């Protein structure tokens, strides 16, 4: 189990010798002490990346792609190990780590392995006598900060397009869930990645993250996490005006209209909020129900929520595991008090389970019916298995509720009306909209938000553009050499 920093192709201790235990959220027992990077380590990693950049960026794009394709194959061959490691470190149920996280990680690297030699510029029609074309060039050394909720998958979201485009990377996984990111670094070396191209530095956000955001030799920073931290990163990036890409918080509206297929909508709403214990920026955390079907929907939905099997994430039968840390569990539970103070009705859950799970970071599936869509629990990102229920009468009211937050990451709607579906897809202020589904992702589909959910896009060809800069080249094809320059 790798627990050191990965710099210039080697695992090394932090310069300071500092470590932090990563804990098993099932029972809060320590797994391993992980090295914590500081400024000196960030500087070493940036220097290693700079040395590697010339060779990596000038390598044939097809060969860069082959390395990513070999990595995808290695992920497939180590799938069970990676799934176990992710579940142990994060609390993801093993059935999800095995069936979703690991396959999606391999698929993402495979997609960008194939995209590496598809990046091309344009020829632009300009005035006669000139040829104007554009080159898309890698930025150089980029900094990437991966969150704790999907560390394995987000490592691929960050590394895939950056490497395919020819950049070198200094990546910081979250200090509480670094184990699969470090394992991916090791597999990258086995796949043939040159030393220094990727450097992985677990560390505190306030230390290593801050150093990466401020570093004058890093040309771009890509961050996934909270809106508040994203705002601090923008401020820290101003020193060298580095490019910034942010995927931040969300408060997704999941709207169910009176003509929806209720069985599909109930199951879809459960997936939207309870998958990964609700620890997802795109979670459908606001359930917006037409008043004519609200009672029937909630009767079915509350019964489903009560049936969800909580337990050890390494147990094959577990449907919902623990939250990833005790600190976060306590934060989620604090919103139960906020809901009650504002007159909300707790329909189910609202507490940590007792018995065998009491030592872990568990929270029961929680459903709260709020008095107003403006209440705090319907506005602030809780980031847990915590669903707020709001009812509406008209389509106009549903749209007002959907757009009534500072966030704009993902939203969903359930209806049999094609006209309504397309109208809401246009008018919802969100980077992604799902119709009669929720939380669908694919390596080819751009992922990102608007408003306080950030800017820039992960995945798809949009992500390749995010990791390049455009150079415009002008050629005077009718150039006449002045006589005094002729030989």
Sheet holding 286-290, edge to edge: 345-348, 366-369, 386-392, 286-290, 253-256, 410-414, 432-435
Question: For residue 307, how many other CB atoms are within 10 A of its CB?
Answer: 10
Sheet holding 130-138, edge to edge: 123-124, 130-138, 468-476
Whether the Cβ atoms of residue 366 and residue 336 lie closer than 8 Å to each other: yes
Closest of 122, 141, 140, 142 to residue 132, by C-alpha: 122
Whether the Cβ atoms of residue 225 and residue 108 lie closer than 8 Å to each other: no
> What is the spatial distance between Cα 9 and Cα 7, in angstroms, rounded to a whole number?
6
> What is the spatial distance between Cα 188 and Cα 380, in angstroms, rounded to a whole number?
38
> What is the spatial distance between Cα 97 and Cα 101, in angstroms, rounded to a whole number?
5
Closest of 237, 165, 216 to residue 468, by C-alpha: 165
Q: Among all residues, which ones are annotated catalytic?
A: 247, 281
> What is the spatial distance between Cα 271 and Cα 290, in angstroms, rounded to a whole number?
20
Whether the Cβ atoms of residue 193 and residue 52 lie closer than 8 Å to each other: no
Question: For residue 464, how many other CB atoms are within 10 A of its CB?
Answer: 21
As a whole number of Å, the end-to-end CA separation of the chain is 69
């Amino acid at each position: 189990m790798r627990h050191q920093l990965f710099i210039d192709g080697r695992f090394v201790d932090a310069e300071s010798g500092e470590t932090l235990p990563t804990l098993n959220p099932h029972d809060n027992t320590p797994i391993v002490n992980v090295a914590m990077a500081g400024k000196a380590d960030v500087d070493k990693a940036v220097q290693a990346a700079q040395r590697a950049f010339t060779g990596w960026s000038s390598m044939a794009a097809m060969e860069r792609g082959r390395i990513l394709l070999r990595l995808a194959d290695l992920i497939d061959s180590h799938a069970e190990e990676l799934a176990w490691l992710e579940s142990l470190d994060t609390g993801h149920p093993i059935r999800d780590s095995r069936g979703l996280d690991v396959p999606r990680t391999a698929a993402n690297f495979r997609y960008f392995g194939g995209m590496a030699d598809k990046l091309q510029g344009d020829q632009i029609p300009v005035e006669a006598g000139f040829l104007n074309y554009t080159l898309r060039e890698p930025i150089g050394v980029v900094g990437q900060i991966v969150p704790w909720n999907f560390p394995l998958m987000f490592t691929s979201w960050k590394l895939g397009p950056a490497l395919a485009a020819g950049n070198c990377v200094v990546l910081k996984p979250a200090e509480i869930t670094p184990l699969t990111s470090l394992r991916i670094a090791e597999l990258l070396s086995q796949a043939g990645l040159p030393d220094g191209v990727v450097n992985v530095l677990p560390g505190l956000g306030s230390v290593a993250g801050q150093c990466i955001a401020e570093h004058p030799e890093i040309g771009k920073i890509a961050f996934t996490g909270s809106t508040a931290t994203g705002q601090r990163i923008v401020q820290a990036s101003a020193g060298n005006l580095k490019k910034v890409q942010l995927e931040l918080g969300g408060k997704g509206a999941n709207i169910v209209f009176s003509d929806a297929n209720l069985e599909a909508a109930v199951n879809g709403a459960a997936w939207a909020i309870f998958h990964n214990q609700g620890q997802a920026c795109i979670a459908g955390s606001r359930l917006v129900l037409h008043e004519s079907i609200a009672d029937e929907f909630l009767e079915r939905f509350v019964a489903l929520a009560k049936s969800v099997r909580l337990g050890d994430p390494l147990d094959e039968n577990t449907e919902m595991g623990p939250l990833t840390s005790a600190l976060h569990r306590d934060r989620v539970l604090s919103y139960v008090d906020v809901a009650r103070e504002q007159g909300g009705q707790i329909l189910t859950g609202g507490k940590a389970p007792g018995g065998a799970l009491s030592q872990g970071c568990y929270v029961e599936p929680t459903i709260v019916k709020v008095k107003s869509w403006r209440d705090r629990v319907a506005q602030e990102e809780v980031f847990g298995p915590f669903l707020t229920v709001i009812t509406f009468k008209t389509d106009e009211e549903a749209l007002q509720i959907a757009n009534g937050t500072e966030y704009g990451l993902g939203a969903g709607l359930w209806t049999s009306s094609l006209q309504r579906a397309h109208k809401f897809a246009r008018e919802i202020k969100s980077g992604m909209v799902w119709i009669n589904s929720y939380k669908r992702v694919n390596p080819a589909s751009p992922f990102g938000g608007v408003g306080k959910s950030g800017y820039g896009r992960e995945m798809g060809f949009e992500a390749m553009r995010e990791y390049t800069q455009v150079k415009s080249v002008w050629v005077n094809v009718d150039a006449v050499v002045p006589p005094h320059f002729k030989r």
